Amino acid sequence: MKKPVIDASGVDLTFQTKDAPVHALKDVNLQIDKGDFVSFIGPSGCGKTTLLRCIAALETPTGGSLTVNGLSPDEARKARSYGYVFQAAGLYPWRTIEKNIKLPLEIMGYPKAEMDERVKRVLDLVDLSGFGKKFPWQLSGGMQQRASIARALAFDADILLMDEPFGALDEIVRDKLNEELLKLWDRTGKTICFVTHSIPEAVYLSTKIVVMSPRPGRITDVIESPLPRERPLEIRDTPEFIEIAHRVREGLREGHNT
């Protein structure tokens, strides 16, 4: 039997704050398989980012067990099992796009020739060939976000953790990036965990949609998408798509009522 890439069992997290403790995650059980595209959707403050940060070993659950590639999140971090894409592109304005992408590789001590080769490959993957010598501020918001995806891809981690990467972009740019991300996922076979507030985005992108309740964040529904891998944007007008979107909306509503 194949092992899940990410395996959460009874994950709980309570933040100790100066005021009252904040119960952010409650009894989270989830298995993510290799090559899955998983979206996490839920109301603001329900713990989506916290769950992603637990997977990335940026937070430590206070209960339950969590493994990434069969390792503890901390071991997985050291093994560079994932790349992380944040809400804001987070590129250094004084470094060119190329040099931004190289930064994690420099820290890891890659030889120059290999760094150059990798930068070229990932720029090509996100359709930014020819922009390596530009500075971030010379690029549009969507291009900057693509550059930040390229940076997360540069060291070939097989998991990509993405925290609302397109939330700040207008709808047209977001549609385009969604389409490109699906193609990239298809080409690379990566496992992607993607946080979003948008029902259409979650349904369009995912093989699995994880619906979460308001705080303390629990999983109220996991929807296995019946949509084909190949998804033109027009798929959003089909009855199948609308039905899944409806189920997500119902899940969000139920979460509010329990």
Nearer to ligand ATP, 48 or 231 (CB): 48
Q: Which stretch binds ligand ATP (CB under 6 A): 39-47, 66-74, 151-159, 240-248?
A: 39-47
x-or-dash string of contact with ligand ATP, 136-155, rule CB under 6 A: --------------------
Could you give the CA distance from residue 149 to residue 100 in angstroms, rounded to a whole number? 11
Q: Can residue 46 be called a binding residue for ligand ATP (CB under 6 A)?
A: yes
Residue of 9, 15, 60, 138 that binds ligand ATP (CB under 6 A) = 15
Could you give the CA distance from residue 241 to residue 11 in angstroms, rounded to a whole number? 31
Cβ–Cβ contacts within 10 Å for residue 123, how many?
Answer: 22
**What is the smallest separation between the CB atom of 28 and ligand ATP, expressed in angstroms?**
12
Q: Can residue 47 be called a binding residue for ligand ATP (CB under 6 A)?
A: yes
Q: Can residue 24 be called a binding residue for ligand ATP (CB under 6 A)?
A: yes
Structure tokens at 232: 């033109």
Q: Is-contact 240 227, C-beta < 8 A?
A: yes
**What is the smallest separation between the CB atom of 77 and ligand ATP, expressed in angstroms?**
18
Residue of 17, 130, 137, 232 that binds ligand ATP (CB under 6 A) = 17
CB contact burial 219-231 (16+ within 10 A = b; e otherwise): bbbebebebeeeb
Could you give the CA distance from residue 48 to residue 219 in angstroms, rounded to a whole number? 10
Nearer to ligand ATP, 49 or 206 (CB): 49
Residues 193-252, interacting with ligand ATP (CB under 6 A): 215
Could you give the CA distance from residue 108 to residue 151 in angstroms, rounded to a whole number? 13
List Cβ neighbours of 190 (8 Å cut-off, separation of 6 or more): 35, 157, 158, 159, 160, 184
Residue of 48, 118, 190, 218 that binds ligand ATP (CB under 6 A) = 48
Cβ–Cβ contacts within 10 Å for residue 168, how many?
Answer: 14
**What is the smallest separation between the CB atom of 183 and ligand ATP, expressed in angstroms?**
26
Residues engaged in binding ligand ATP (CB under 6 A): 15, 17, 22, 24, 42, 44-50, 215
